[in-house]
Amino acid sequence: MNAAILARSALRTRSTARLMRSDLYHFENTNGQNIPFKTTNKVGLAVKMALYLGLGFGAPFLGKFSFVYLMEQRSSRLSSKLRL
């Protein structure tokens, strides 16, 4: 009985996997047709990639510096209130 259940579940997963792999889109097999942006303007592509990658890399550093700046501002306000 257990073998029959396992066999049915194995068949079910194979059939759903086959349905999920069916290709819903057709892409031409040419350069630049399989990505959602144009690659004809090389300078524009380089600028966009530099901004995207630079902001992604710099986000933790910007967050750290803004956090440190805010903490310094709060501590200076607190120390000025304590001096009065």
Q: What is the pLDDT of residues 24-80, one digit of tens each?
A: 666 677 777 777 778 888 999 999 999 999 999 999 999 999 999 999 988 888 777
Alpha carbon separation from 53 to 21, 46, 47, 62, 75 (Å, rounded)? 31, 10, 10, 14, 34
Class of domain 2-83: few secondary structures
For the chain, the domains span 2-83
Whether the full predicted model's pTM is greater than 0.85, yes or no, is no
Report pLDDT for 60. 96
Better-predicted residue by pLDDT, 62 or 19: 62
Long-range contacts of 58-66 (CB under 8 A, 24+ apart): none
